[in-house]
Amino acid sequence: MKIQLSNSFLRGAVPGLMVCALAFPPDIFGQPAQQDHIVSSQALQQRLETSAAARQRDIETLNSFLSSPITQQAMQETHVNPVQIQTAIPTLSDQELSNLATRAADAQMKFSAGAFGNRELIIIAVAILVIILIVVAVR
């Protein structure tokens, strides 16, 4: 009877002790865990600020392009609501904003340099307007 008691005790106690040993981290009673993260909070904050600044710059570039007289004329001729475009711009993703702002800035620069005439700038403006409307409509 004594052998059976110790056998059944071992059968119940050993798995219970194993579960307890594996359930807790090995350094639970040791030193506190170090805060080694892959990216520091300062670097993360810096990236967020840089991203927000780039996004704001892209929004301002698009707004500047869309407020030009030629673009306003293009919106009137194509019956596009300027308010709808202005409210749609902030809903674009960072990548979409960056892409459109780059294209708008390039078109303005080429227009200022004389490489583009009014007709080309109107075509580019209409294309950007259509892209903004399509992206917003798909969402």
Between the CA of residue 123 and those of 53, 114, 118, 128, what are the distances in Å?
A: 29, 16, 9, 9
Give the amino acid at 7: N
| Domain layout of the chain by residue ranges | 51-139
- pLDDT of 89 reads 93
pLDDT in tens, 99-117: 999 999 999 999 888 888 8
CA 33-39-42 angle, to 5 degrees, is: 100
Pair 75, 129: CB distance under 8 Å: yes
Residue whose token pair is 């674009």: 92
pTM: 0.66
* Residue 30: both structure tokens together: 């040791």
Q: At what angle do helices 118-138 and 41-66 cross, to 10 degrees?
A: 130
| pLDDT at residue 62, as a whole number | 94
pLDDT above 70 for 128: yes
Q: Encode pLDDT of 10-66 as tens digits.
A: 676 777 766 666 666 666 665 555 555 677 888 888 999 999 999 999 999 999 999
pLDDT reading at 9 higher than 70: no
Contacts of 94 (CB under 8 A, 6+ apart): 51, 54, 55, 58
pLDDT value at residue 39 = 75
The C-alpha atoms of residue 88 and residue 133 are separated, in whole angstroms, by 8
pLDDT at 135: 87
* pLDDT score of 67: 92
pLDDT of res. 101: 95
